[in-house]
Amino acid sequence: MTNRISLVVNPTAGRGRGAVTLAQVEGRLRAAGAQVETLRSESWSDAAALMTAAVRREVDVLAVMGGDGMMHLGLNACADAGGLGRTALGMIPAGTGNDLARGVGLDPTDTLAAAEVVAGGHRQALDLIRVGDRYVGAVLATGYDARVNGRANAMPWPRGSMRYTVAALAELRVFRPLSYRLTLDGEVREQRAMLVAVGNTSTYGGGLRICPRADPCDGLLDVTIIHPVSRLKLLQLLPQMRSGRFARDPCVEQLRARAVTVAGDGLVVYGDGERLGVAPVDATVAPAALSLMAAGPGVR
């Protein structure tokens, strides 16, 4: 049984979805016998501070209610504590993309079902991607996808997942293949590509299965490379990313590694939808770095 839960919520997530369902989420957690402390964040820095303080108090669960940005903060706060006996992360998706929640098997549209998972008391050890002094739970984007992410973040309209579609079409008009220098477990390769994505879980961009075979418990990173193609071809591949079917195309290469270095001029790096900086970037798998509240007994 989970006893002490700190619930950090972004009331503005998902166009107010977090605020609307907050009372129901609190009710589900308390009905399971948990002591719930609800903390409303007012900004990105405020949310980070609230989460760090909760982990330092060694609460049983840090439950995060919001979108991928909030989940990114939560997994970093919990992973930084180290060891599987620490505070576990509970994900309660209430944003627009919700790729981190989707990637660990939660229904990204069902906030109350996720609350039931948090209340259930089952922990699972999850791998993360370590990038410098930060952790990434889902996917690192470094090419066309990263530029779409940056463009979408800067757009005030439309709201929700449609913003990524509009940004993808706008970026497609001006995009050209990029030069990469990749190092995968010590093997160096230089090439041009539309994108190189490094995944711990399978999806980004609101459900695009860019690394369809990724398993966040296998101790490996999945690397997807889309080799240079025409703009028309890339446009044809984009809708197939919803199902992962795009990976069957001959222009797509999928690899696995424990350590990946991505270098190249002009490459911007995003992780969990957040800008991490510019290349070069060193990404290594951090096995079992996160204790996660999951739907069944832990697998590790």
| Structure confidence by residue, pLDDT tens digits, 200-230 | 999 998 899 999 999 999 999 999 999 999 9
Question: Residue type for 275, please?
Answer: R
**Whether the Cβ atoms of residue 195 and residue 226 lie closer than 8 Å to each other:** yes
With a CB cutoff of 8 Å and minimum separation 6, the contacts of 262 are: 140, 142, 180, 181, 182, 196, 198, 269, 279, 280, 281, 283
pLDDT above 60 for 83:
no
pTM (2 decimals)?
0.92
Lowest mean pLDDT among 18-27, 33-42, 218-227, 243-252: 18-27
pLDDT number for residue 300: 36
pLDDT above 60 for 14:
no
Q: Which of 181, 92, 172, 104 is nearest to 142 (CA)?
A: 181
Phi then psi for 223, rounded to 5 degrees? -120, 125
Domains and CATH numbers, the chain: 4-121 (3.40.50.10330), 139-287 (2.60.200.40)
Report the DSSP pairing between strands 4-9 and 35-40: parallel
pLDDT above 90 for 86:
no
Question: If pLDDT is split at 50, 70 and 90, which confidence band does 121 have?
Answer: confident
- Mean pLDDT over residues 23-32, rounded? 93
| Structure confidence by residue, pLDDT tens digits, 43-80 | 889 999 999 999 999 999 999 999 999 999 999 999 98
Q: What is the mean pLDDT of the chain?
A: 91
